[in-house]
């Protein structure tokens, strides 16, 4: 298990996340992920700790409105989001481009067809 730090561009939103094995990632082609350039991984809510910036977060929901897409109201960076898996467990999606010390180009990226899901 490795603890990573991450957050938004202006540093108002900062968090820590525990990721067991960061070798792979997901690239989704839905209308939002593709425009934002997200490279994702998902962790259980218990592995995520928001250190600062709760008051700076703005929420955006679209389509089925199941996912809480969050972004910093100051700089606009979308560094994480919240939702639930098919069993109802709360999960946090992490934009790997927003983790400190991670080079997303070194990860094996699996494509997900969110456009047609």
48 is a domain residue: yes
Both tokens assigned to 107: 């990860």
Give the model's confidence band at 37: pLDDT under 50 very low, under 70 low, under 90 confident, else very high. confident
Query: What confidence tens digit (pLDDT) does each residue in 55-96 have?
Result: 999 988 776 767 888 999 999 999 999 988 888 889 999 999
Both tokens assigned to 98: 């927003």
Domain that holds residue 77: 2-112
Hey, CA dihedral for 100, 104, 109, 111, is it positive or negative?
A: positive
pTM: predicted TM-score of the whole model, two decimal places: 0.86
pLDDT of 11 > 80? The answer is yes
d(CA 79, CA 97) in angstroms, rounded, equals 8
What average pLDDT is seen over the chain? 90
- The pLDDT value recorded for residue 17 is 97
Which range in 18-22, 79-83, 110-114 is most confidently predicted, on average pLDDT? 79-83
20 is a domain residue: yes
Contact 49, 16 (CB under 8 A): yes
DSSP string covering 16-62 = EEEES-TTEEEEE-SHHHHHHT--EEEEEGGGEEEEE-GGGEEEE--
- Number of folded domains that form the chain: 1
Both tokens assigned to 1: 């298990």
99 is a domain residue: yes
71 is a domain residue: yes
117 is a domain residue: no
66 is a domain residue: yes
Domain holding 57: CATH number?
2.170.150.70
103 is a domain residue: yes
């Amino acid at each position: 298990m490795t603890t990573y730090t991450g957050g938004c561009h202006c540093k108002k939103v900062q968090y820590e996340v525990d990721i067991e094995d960061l070798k792979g990632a997901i690239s989704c082609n839905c209308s939002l992920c593709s425009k934002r350039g997200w490279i994702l991984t998902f962790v259980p809510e218990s592995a995520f700790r928001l250190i600062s910036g709760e008051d700076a977060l703005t929420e955006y929901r679209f389509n089925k409105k199941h996912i809480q897409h969050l972004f910093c109201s100051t700089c606009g960076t979308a560094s994480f989001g919240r939702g639930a898996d098919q069993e109802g467990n709360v999960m946090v999606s992490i934009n790997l481009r927003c983790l400190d010390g991670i080079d997303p180009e070194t990860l094996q990226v699996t494509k997900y067809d969110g456009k047609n899901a």
